[in-house]
Amino acid sequence: MVLGSLNEAGQVELKAVNSCIQLTPTLDGKALYTVEDLQQDNGALHPVQQALVECHGSQCGFCTPGFAMSLWGMYLKQEGKPDTRPRRCDIDDALSGNLCRCTGYRPIIDAAHRMGELPRVELDRAALARQLTALQRDSMVTYSSNGQQFHAPRTLEELVQLRAEKPAACLLAGSTDVGLWVTKQMRDLGDIIYIGQVGALKTVKEADGLLEIGAGVSLNDAYQALCSHYPDELSEMWQRFASLPVRNAGTLGGNVANGSPIGDSMPWLIVLGTQIVLRGKHGQRVMPLEDFYLDYQKKDLQAGEFVEAVRVPLPRAGIKFRTYKLAKRFDQDISAVCAAFALTLDGDLIQQARIAFGGMAATPKRAARAEASLLGQRWSEEALKTAMALMAQDYAPLSDMRASSAYRMTTAQNLLRRFWLETRADAPLPRSAVNAYANRA
């Protein structure tokens, strides 16, 4: 489905999201569009629908509506562009969350190209903005059902007070993980505090060499801001993080707060020296992100506290930084191994080394022994081999459905070698030359 909402500037935003994991109370004050809404007032099909018909892109009744709505989400983004025909890379990204391949996938791609050739049917955004403005509330919403309460504070102060009163309540942002607790595990969430209406958590600010990203900023918006500073280093991770509907709904703050040992953001946030900002009734608490994770699903989070923001250092001279993801599937998949590396060089000597992995331990974890071996060394193959060998002392990965322990260790070491190949003094090509994502307009 596609959700319409007003951003902090009062502008309409329309984003495709996964309907199956959206909790109904979170839709308050928003516009909800399903495939039935695409048909024009005169009964004619929308260009998205017409293109699917003409190109024979229909699948089963369950999958086709999802494809249509993902395509419509992309169609909306083409408004106002000189050429409204989408590029293949845009189509691939828009459909990254639609995994079904029955009946044939090529006709759907053909339909995505075809819809841009048909006469445009624009959404009346001005009218939608007026409707959404009329729906907005000035105060906190509380909804009760079957002994459970759903709270949607609107200010940071309301959130602090509510969290202090209900420290055990489930904090909800994009529901991309919590929603699965309900649909897959049938869990009872109890009381819920929804942060999606707190404007103070949806800001991105740059100051003192740091990019501060509020806990309510979507993954897509967060990565867009980050890639303006790290285009070569983070653009591929941006595109490979789950899928577009997940990135539209989920938040970077939620990914960090969840603290999964296989989360895609934490390794590179850690090697960059990111700080996490916690908020509670006693004020703010700031710490290095790596210190936030104590053990599997155990964090340094006091009762009544929540994640307010993360502060990511901006690029500095002399730093070589990369992050990599290995998974069985390119789109919409969880990492088997996620790696991040950052070296600070003084001339040709390594002044600081930071190596972190996901999927190698119970938490996102740095490779302390491998890092120490690199300090004061030249970034040479000899130094690389020593660090690779020491990684076997830094990590003891488990075997599971995604990868064996041996595979994880071998690929983790090989990713460090890849980092060396891309960043050594005589690297054959710059990252931008081999990274298709960095070259996207």
| Model pLDDT, residue 332 | 84
User: Cβ–Cβ contacts within 10 Å for residue 433, how many?
Assistant: 10
Q: What pLDDT does residue 150 have?
A: 98
Tokens of 331: 């789109």
Residue owning tokens 């918006």? 221
The rounded distance, in Å, linking the Cα atoms of 358 and 296 is 12
pLDDT band at 102 (very low <50, low <70, confident <90, very high): confident
Q: How do residues 36-85 score in pLDDT, each as one tens digit? A: 999 999 999 999 999 999 999 988 778 999 999 999 999 999 988 888 88
Kindly indicate the confidence band of residue 429, based on its pLDDT and cuts at 50, 70 and 90.
low
pLDDT value at 235 more than 90: yes
- pLDDT at 34 (0 to 100): 97
What is the per-residue pLDDT for 441?
42
Query: Higher confidence at residue 353 or residue 438?
Result: 353
pLDDT digits (tens, 9 = 90+) for 277-321: 999 999 999 999 999 999 999 999 999 999 999 999 999 999 999
Cβ atoms of 139 and 178 closer than 8 Å: no
What's the pLDDT score for residue 288? 99
The answer to pTM > 0.85 is yes
Rounded to 5 degrees, φ, ψ at 413 are: -65, -40
| pLDDT for res 101 | 84
* Mean pLDDT, rounded, for 217-224: 98
Mean pLDDT, all residues of the chain: 94
- Average pLDDT on 136-143 reads 93
Mean pLDDT across 365-382: 98
pLDDT over 70 at 264, yes or no: yes
Domains of the chain: 1-136 (1.10.150.120), 138-200 (3.30.43.10), 201-313 (3.30.465.10), 320-439 (3.30.390.50)
Model confidence at 240, in pLDDT bands (50, 70, 90)? very high
- Burial-class residue 20 by CB neighbours within 10 Å (0-12, 13-18, 19+): exposed
Share of the chain above pLDDT 70, in %: 97
Sign for the CA dihedral angle at 222, 72, 82, 11 comes to negative
Mean pLDDT of 422-436: 72
Higher local confidence (pLDDT), 355 or 328 = 355
What is the Cα–Cα distance from 116 to 39, expressed in whole angstroms? 17
| Nearest-angstrom CA–CA distance, 291 and 364 | 10
How far is residue 238's CA from residue 72's CA, in Å, rounded to a whole number?
21
